Amino acid sequence: MSELAIHPSPPGDRQEILELTRATHVFTRAEEDTVLELFDAYRDNPASGYLFLSARKAGQLVGFACWGETALTEGAVDLYWLCTSPDAQRRGIGRALFERVQQLALERGGRLIVIWTSATGSYAAAARFYERMGCAMMSRIPDFYKPGDDLLVYVKYFDGRSCAHAELNQKGSG
């Protein structure tokens, strides 16, 4: 079994990243376009704040992550996208990408990873994944994306604190 290699995405990965995004059948056309927009910003402008990582196995792209430091924060990091190839699921590729993002964020003084995601349909598996990665669901905004499609915010603090949603609620309502 060949080794998984994770590296900053070279410009030439653009098309493969688009194809992988499409192959997941999770994203809308507008979301696919957004992945490309972020990739172009990353490729053309180092100050864009977007960073891409490609995961390859036997030369083939099996996953990618797009992340970046959150503007106007000291130490928050957004994980914008994390995709693995449908024919390479359940092989630890998502976890390896997540952990690499976390490691790189820590090296830059990051304190927390924040993931803004949808509560519906094919995103449910993603939600379970983020919980396995140690993220806690910190917020739900009903009907944010469209009626019936809520925004969920997952957070992982690097200091290891546990942030169950219920605990937060208590604080938030105080």
Q: Which residues pair with 139 in a beta bridge?
A: 153
173 contacts its own copies (rule: CB under 8 A): yes
| Beta carbon of residue 75, minimum distance to its own copies (angstroms, whole number) | 7
- Dihedral of alpha carbons 165, 168, 172, 173, sign: positive
Among 19, 31, 99, 131, binds its own copies (CB under 8 A): 31
Of 167, 166, 137, give the one whose Cα is nearest residue 152: 137
**Site membership for its own copies, residue 73 (CB under 8 A):** yes
Binding segment for its own copies among 7-15, 48-56, 59-67, 165-173 (CB under 8 A)?
165-173
- What are the residues facing 112 on neighbouring strands? 76, 157
| Interaction of residue 123 with its own copies, rule CB under 8 A | no
Q: State which of residues 97, 112, 115, 126 lies at the interface with its own copies (CB under 8 A).
A: 112
Q: Is 74 in the site for its own copies (CB under 8 A)?
A: yes
Distances (CA, A) of 31 to 18, 53, 119, 170: 10, 18, 15, 34
